[in-house]
Amino acid sequence: MSQGSAIKGLLALLLALVLAGGLLLADLGGTALSDRDEGEYAASVAAMVKSGDYLVPTLNGRNYLEKPILVFWLTAAAFKLVGPGELAARLPSAVSGVLLLLAIAALVWRVSGRPGLGALAVACLGFSPLFVLVGRACLTDMLLSLFTTLSLVCFFLGSEKEAPRDRVWYLLAWAALGLGFLTKGPVAPAVVLPTALIYAIWQRRLLLTLKRAQILWGLLIFVLINLPWYGLIWYQLGDEFWQAFFVSQNLRRFSETLLGHGGGLVFYLPVIFLGAYPCAIAALPEWGRALFQNPRAQRENEALSRLHLLSGVTLALVLVVFSLAATKQINYILPALPFLAILAGCSLDRLGQGELGGGLARAVFWIGLLALGAVLVVALAGVPLALSLFWDKIVASIRFDSSEYALPQQAPLMILWPLCAAGVLAASVYGAWLLPRRGRPGLAPWALGAGGAVFCGLVFLGLLPQASGFVQEPAKEMGQAVSQRALPGEKVVTYGLWKPSLIFYSNRDLPRFKVDQGAELAKELNGDIPLLIMSRVRLLPELVKLPGFVEMGRCGGYLLGGNAAASRAWSGPAKPKTAPPAPDKTDTPAQPSTAPEAQKAEPTQRDATQPQAQAEPKAGSPAAPQQPKAGPGS
């Protein structure tokens, strides 16, 4: 490789890292937390910081034992560093994503000796929509993927060294595996250990690997990393921890479908192809070569061929393990993406050199690239029309007690961002197809890379924030209004709505009433203690039937109500240093409202013969309430 090519490759690698890292970090706190996972983790960490108990996470007043402690500790540290909020909640995932990109860049560059090939691998990973989505979310999966990838990378580098220089790499692999177990429990060993075992067998080095892999020292490192927390929480909670974490969250997730998150054996195939487009298509020819056209003699002479084999084995094993599990979510497959990106980068490198492969490889690549690209372009371009045609059905499909979202009755107007994303995607795919036919194949991979970067920017910095403004921002406004204005003695509950992000934004535990518990809620309404109810606008017909209920405001599809005592307290002067959210304009045209400080009248009672409250126009948001409407018999 010439010096000029090396400089160009290095510049391309730096550019890919900057753009991919920017996608993960840009405006990270600009959108409200989603539900349910982001809300649960953020609310649990907020409770942890508030209580000072950093051993047992809690959610809504109960022990929250779904995941090990590392992600909670890192998020709590981010809360201390930048303050509680969306940025701090998502920062551990984003930083983990950046570190993962650096690890893949360093690995491919080290093994191949070509920084340009590392740039292609980074672009394939960093511009994959699923990778960016998970990296910009408060979840455990990016942190898990970082540690499983580091463990396998260190294992691979250890297997490339002669004794005793291999020792440190194997020990680092065990340490990363221990941190993965502290992040998501048995999932980390389930990914790493079988992959390493199969790779060693394939390389006919099983006995040598078992001898040199520092198993005893490695297990000691693994135990030292995990025993302090696992031991202490087991000592404190005993069987509760065993049943909640190991049995429910691990064994049952594998054997049973939990929370409706199911899918067939091929569930992850469309997830991979759509979530990692176009690198998943590009990886297919190289995946086949890595497993079936990678002879032992070639692997003995080329470290890159050995890396291809490890990547192919990892990708296959992750797909098999997570496809066999009964509970499935799109983010679970993330540990496969770094190794998919390595294969895709090598395949795009062949494309740039005009050596994509035989007729089958070329057909798979071009047919897959163009066909799936056309599907995505049509789907994105059809978003505005689909929302207008099917919004009523989408709203009607929401189940009150199980769905976290309360959608506005009117379909959101989303035209610019979907059409721009569709146009960029179409242009990049067409460019990649056209350039080789114009005698410039070397530019085709970069056309796909540039298109992927711009596409992800449009989706994650434009389209999704706009969608969040319709779906999540109203709930955030309502929760923050409750946090700012509700007095310490007031009780706040939810009715027909389980939304963990409201726990975070309202800064309090929220007792939950299901839709069939109206009688119990009516008893709370008739008490002397001020009671605030966060619910859905669609449940207003049920709520106005409850004696003593008063509607106090709406935010999008979300409803704030309560009893007369709460309404009187709510209508008083706002707490200092607060700014009420803007009135919502989604459901009904906003009318001029009276500022809370100027409202002196007591809430008026609605006679049972008057029209129902949901038919009356809204006068303002929860922080700027309208003259309340009381339920019958209040």
Distance linking the first and last C-alpha atoms of the chain: 83
Q: 347 near 285, Cβ under 8 Å?
A: yes
Q: 492 near 532, Cβ under 8 Å?
A: yes
Beta-carbon-side half-sphere exposure of residue 287 (alpha carbons within 13 Å): 20
Q: What is the mean pLDDT of residues 317-336?
A: 93
For CA atoms 556, 562, 567, 572, the dihedral sign is: negative
Q: 118 near 17, Cβ under 8 Å?
A: no
Whether 207 has a pLDDT exceeding 90, the answer reads yes
Q: 463 near 454, Cβ under 8 Å?
A: no
- Give the H/E segment covering residue 558: strand 558-562
Whether 247 has a pLDDT exceeding 90, the answer reads no
DSSP string, 91-118: HHHHHHHHHHHHHHHHHHHHHHS-HHHH
As beta bridge partners, residue 536 has: 558
Task: Output b/e per residue, 95-109; b: 16+ Cβ within 10 A.
Answer: bbbbbbbebbbebbb
3-state class (DSSP) for residue 209: helix
Whether 614 has a pLDDT exceeding 50, the answer reads no
Q: What pLDDT is recorded for position 260? A: 63
- Give the H/E segment covering residue 536: strand 531-536
Query: Of 149-153, 167-171, 482-486, which gets the smallest average pLDDT?
Result: 482-486
* Tens-digit pLDDT profile for residues 162-179: 989 999 999 999 999 999
Q: What pLDDT is recorded for position 572? A: 65
Q: In the predicted model, what is the mean pLDDT of the chain?
A: 88
Q: How many CB atoms lie within 10 A of CB 463?
A: 18
Q: 34 near 138, Cβ under 8 Å?
A: no
* Tens-digit pLDDT profile for residues 16-54: 999 999 999 999 999 999 998 999 999 999 999 999 999
- Residue 246 binned pLDDT confidence (cut-offs 50, 70, 90): confident
Q: What pLDDT is recorded for position 2? A: 72
- Residue 570 binned pLDDT confidence (cut-offs 50, 70, 90): confident
Query: Of 100-104, 241-245, 292-296, 606-610, which gets the smallest average pLDDT?
Result: 606-610
Nearest to 142 by CA among 74, 232, 219, 239: 74
Q: What pLDDT is recorded for position 1? A: 62
Tokens 């060693």 appear where? 200
Whether 592 has a pLDDT exceeding 80, the answer reads no
Both structure tokens of 401: 């007690």
Percent of the chain topping pLDDT 90: 75
- Give the H/E segment covering residue 317: helix 303-324
- Give the H/E segment covering residue 531: strand 531-536
Distances (CA, A) of 169 to 150, 158, 222: 10, 5, 14
Tell me which of 17 and 587 has the higher pLDDT. 17
DSSP state of 460: I
Nearest to 289 by CA among 263, 261, 315: 315
Percent of the chain topping pLDDT 70: 89
Tell me which of 408 and 80 has the higher pLDDT. 80
> Distance (Å, rounded) from C-alpha 100 to C-alpha 91?
14
Distances (CA, A) of 549 to 122, 190, 499: 56, 52, 21
Nearest to 623 by CA among 550, 576, 553, 551: 553
Q: What is the mean pLDDT of residues 537-553?
A: 93
Please report, as a single letter, which amino acid is at residue 583: P
Tell me which of 4 and 429 has the higher pLDDT. 429
Both structure tokens of 546: 């409850």
Q: What pLDDT is recorded for position 615? A: 34
> Distance (Å, rounded) from C-alpha 91 to C-alpha 41?
13
Angle at alpha carbon of residue 501, lines to 497 and 462, rounded to 5°: 110
Nearest to 501 by CA among 30, 56, 37, 27: 37
Q: What pLDDT is recorded for position 535? A: 95
**Phi/psi at 332 (5° precision):** -65, -30
Tell me whether residue 161 is exposed, middle or buried, using C-beta atoms within 10 angstroms of its C-beta: 0 to 12, 13 to 18, 19 or more: middle
Where are the domains positioned within the chain? 3-352, 362-465, 473-630
> Distance (Å, rounded) from C-alpha 315 to C-alpha 544?
55
Whether 588 has a pLDDT exceeding 70, the answer reads no
Q: Beta strands 558-562 and 550-555: pairing type?
A: antiparallel
Q: What pLDDT is recorded for position 581? A: 42
Q: What pLDDT is recorded for position 573? A: 59
Query: Of 27-31, 52-56, 379-383, 576-580, which gets the smallest average pLDDT?
Result: 576-580
Q: What is the mean pLDDT of residues 250-262?
A: 73
SS3 for 234-274 is: HHHHCHHHHHHHHHHHHHHHHHCCCCCCCCCCCCHHHHHHH
Whether 631 has a pLDDT exceeding 50, the answer reads no
Angle at alpha carbon of residue 217, lines to 95 and 300, rounded to 5°: 75
Q: What pLDDT is recorded for position 253? A: 76
Distances (CA, A) of 27 to 31, 43, 465: 8, 21, 10
Task: Output b/e per residue, 350-369; b: 16+ Cβ within 10 A.
Answer: bbbeeebbeeebeebbbebb
Q: What pLDDT is recorded for position 595? A: 32
Nearest to 307 by CA among 172, 202, 445, 181: 202
* Tens-digit pLDDT profile for residues 73-100: 999 999 999 999 999 999 999 999 999 9
Tokens 């009276």 appear where? 594
Rg of the chain on CA atoms, in Å: 27
Nearest to 337 by CA among 134, 143, 125: 125
